[in-house]
Every structure is written in structure tokens, then in C-alpha cells.
Amino acid sequence: MERRVAVKEPVKRPVKMAGQVKGGSAARIRHWLRGVAGLKLTSRAPLAPLTTFRIGGAAELLAEVGTEAALAALLTAVAEVGCPFQILGLGSNILIPDRGLPGVVAKLSGHFRRLRFDGNRVVAGAALALPSVAKQAAQRGLSGLEALAGFPSTVGGAVWMNAGCYGVEIKDVLISAWLMERDGSHRRIGAGELEAGYRTTALQHGDSIVTRASFRLHPADPAACLARIEQLNRKRWASLPSGRTAGSTFKNPPGDFAGRLIEACGLKGKAKGGAAISPQHANVLINLGDARAEEVLDLMIEARHAVHQRFGITLEAELVLLGELGRRWRESVP
Ligand SMILES: Cc1cc2nc3c(=O)[nH]c(=O)nc-3n(C[C@H](O)[C@H](O)[C@H](O)COP(=O)(O)OP(=O)(O)OC[C@H]3O[C@@H](n4cnc5c(N)ncnc54)[C@H](O)[C@@H]3O)c2cc1C
């Protein structure tokens, strides 16, 4: 029997998910989705270059997805074979296992980079870089995103994380987010439904993919908005180690700073193989050149145990630990 992928927009060629295909789930997905417009599939694609840490192995299958129809087709095929699926933004807050990731890793592009201004509102595709959205809004005299312009992030990644800086979080400016579910269906949620807290959202407990988001901004002098971005970025980069990092490793515990606690345990600058706790900022891990994910995780576990032993505080990871790294992290609770 021939089955068709349920998509809201027509795909150029019907996707047949039938017939015998040799190989594993990635081979079947490649076979079913050949010819689908807006989809580029690469087997055994290295993932390290797609992250700011530059660490990790390859994706069994990397999918670059340019349209909603292609994303729906991909998700339906993934559900059909039942393989793991991981969406990636700019890779600025993730650690990928040295062995890589099984199944499909998807990166949004194309239509997901669309940007539309509508009065004081901006609708931004999930694959857009947040700093670029903030800058374009500032140039139009729209204020609200300036404090969020100083770190690498896609719009989708920032919504998923409720990213924030200098007292402003995504939830403060978000009107709504458009989501695609694993069955290819769409839904739109308001900012309240995001249930956003300090680096947490309801999206972290589900499988929804952010496809775009709208933000409420307010009119302001363009030059003043751009100057504010410049000023905050200078401040930001002066306080952060440069090089291959993924920003903050741990969430700050209530009323304290993870960096201060780790430093007090004497771990600032501690190295393991190619990874180190930054000598500049103890809550940032750095890849000295050839770090392995396991080495980064070892340092995280060591820091968490030391802080727990000395202060009785259990640090929570801000860094997203993928695959087996997440399992090891959960098992290592002090
Ligand atoms: C130098 C540096 C400074 C940083 N400073 C800050 C800071 O000040 N404040 C802050 O909050 N963060 C900061 N970070 C962390 C990081 O930039 C943010 O968490 C960012 O929002 C992650 O976005 P991303 O697109 O890179 O997501 P990724 O790192 O690629 O992914 C992170 C998570 O988001 C999910 N995700 C990505 N896109 C989507 C989507 N479209 N739909 C659903 N889920 C998705 C991924 O599956 C993953 O689980 C910093 C990082 C660096 C390297």
C-alpha cells in the first residue's frame, strides 16, 4: 500500500513510504525523501563544525530543511522509521557526543530565515540569528531586542531556551511562537503558554519545533538602539572568554553564581585533555583545540561534585547534553 506524508503544503513529489529499502533507518529516510524540494540530506555529516564548541562526532543523517513542507515530510518519515531526531540551531549551547548522533539531525534554513516587520511587531523565522534580527529592528527604530544581540543564537534556540541577558529574556518580548509537531501538524502558542522561567520553557519537555516567532517592540531612535547594542556587546565580550566555548555551563543557583562557587572550589583553570574550565570565567568551559565531549563532561561532573561537597548545592546544567552525555550526566547526581 502506498502511503503519503501528511503535509499542509504540497511537496513537489509525493513521498512514498513503501517498498523494500536496503540499509537502516537513515537509508530508508533518504530513499523515501529523495526529490522532496527544500531538503538536503547528507550521511555521516560531521557536527563539530556546526557547534561553537567545535566538539563531537557525526550525524548519521544531517537534514538541511528549507520549507515547512519539507520539515513535515522529514518528521513524518522519522516517525515512520522510529529513529532519533534532533534539531540544531547555531549549536551554541550544546555538547555533542564524540561518537556522534544516531538518526536524523536537522538544521533549518531557507524559508525559516524570513523576517517581516509589521508596525511595532516583528515576525522572525526560527533559523534567523537573533543578533541579526535585533540589529535590523534597531535600524528601523524598533527597540526591545538590544540586550539579546550579544550572544550567538537562532530565534528558535532562544525561544526553546528562554535565552536572556542583562535582565531581558525572550519571554519579555515574545508575542507568540509557531510550532511544528512530530506528526507534521502546526500550532501557535502565546508567550504565556511557553511557561518560561530562568533558562527553561515548556518546550524542553516536548518534541515541538519552533518554526517562527513574533516579538513586540516599541519605537525608539535608531541611532540610540544601535549604540545600545554596541555598548552591551562590548561589555559582554569583555566578560567572556573568547574561543571555542558554549557560553555558561551551569545555571546560576538562586542567589548565587555558579562561576563563583566553582572558583571557590579551586577549579578555575583546571584542564582535562583538550578541555578546560576557563581561567577567565569558571562557569565557562573551553575547547583548547582538540577537546573530546567526554573530557568536557568529566570536568562538569567534577565541578558539580566539588560544589556539592563544599556548599551542599547541586548545580544544574545550562549546556544541553545530547545522547549518551545526557544519560551520564543524570546518573552522576551527587
Ligand atoms: C559566547 C556565548 C555566550 C552566550 N551567552 C548567553 C547569554 O548571555 N544568555 C543566554 O541565554 N545564552 C547564552 N549563550 C548560550 C546560547 O547562545 C543560547 O542558549 C542560545 O539561545 C542557543 O541557541 P542556538 O540556536 O545556538 O541553539 P542550539 O545550541 O543549537 O540548541 C540548543 C537547544 O535548542 C533546541 N533548538 C534549537 N532550535 C530549535 C527550534 N527551532 N525548535 C525547537 N528547539 C530548538 C535544540 O534542540 C537544543 O536542545 C551563550 C553562548 C555562547 C557560545
pLDDT tens, position by position, 155-188: 999 999 999 999 999 999 999 999 999 999 999 9
Is there a catalytic annotation at residue 294? Answer: no
pLDDT, position 13: 39
Task: Answer whether 96's CB lies under 8 Å from 293's CB.
Answer: yes
pLDDT score of 20: 60
Residue-averaged pLDDT of the chain: 93
Asked if pLDDT for residue 262 goes beyond 90, the answer is yes
Kindly tell me if the per-residue pLDDT of 2 is higher than 70.
no
Which residues on neighbouring strands pair with residue 332, listed in sequence order?
Answer: none
pLDDT, tens digit (0-9, with 9 covering 90-100), for 110-151: 999 999 999 999 999 999 999 999 999 999 999 999 999 999
Give the span between the Cα atoms of 211 and 188, in whole angstroms. Answer: 10
Q: Do residues 285 and 278 make contact, with C-beta atoms less than 8 angstroms apart? A: yes
Catalytic residue selected from 248, 292, 294, 304 = 248
Average pLDDT over residues 10-38: 72
Of 203, 199, 197, residue with least CA distance to 161: 199
Residue 258, pLDDT score = 98
Mutation pick for ligand 1 pocket among 52, 108, 160, 199 (CB with most ligand atoms within 8 Å): 160
Give how far Cα 190 sits from Cα of 79, 172, 194, Å: 27, 12, 7
Cβ atoms within 10 Å, residue 27: 15
The per-residue pLDDT for 238 is: 84
Q: Which protein residues are within 6 Å of ligand 1, measured from CB? A: 52, 86-94, 108, 126, 151-154, 156-158, 160-161, 163-165, 209-210, 240, 245-247, 320
Q: How confident is the model at residue 19 (pLDDT cuts 50, 70, 90)?
A: low
Q: What is the pLDDT of residue 241?
A: 87
Q: How far is CA 316 from CA 53, 113, 162, 285, 330, in A?
A: 19, 32, 16, 15, 10
**pTM assigned to the model:** 0.94
Choose the residue to mutate in 88, 181, 194, 285 for probing ligand 1, maximizing ligand atoms within 8 Å of C-beta. 88
- C-beta separation of 299 from 321 below 8 A: no
Ligand 1 centroid, distance to 131 Cα (angstroms)? 12
pLDDT at 240: 84
Domains of the chain: 25-111 (3.30.43.10), 114-225 (3.30.465.10), 241-331 (3.90.78.10)
- Residue count of the chain, please give it: 334
Instruction: Identify the band that residue 18 occupies on the pLDDT scale cut at 50, 70 and 90.
Output: low
Return the C-alpha cell found at 116: 517581516
What is the pLDDT, as a whole number, of residue 334?
87
Q: Among residues 199, 212, 244, 292, which one is catalytic?
A: 199
Task: Report pLDDT digits (tens) over 66-98.
Answer: 999 999 999 999 999 999 999 999 999 999 999
CA–CA dist 311, 290 (Å, integer): 32
CA distance 53 to 282: 16
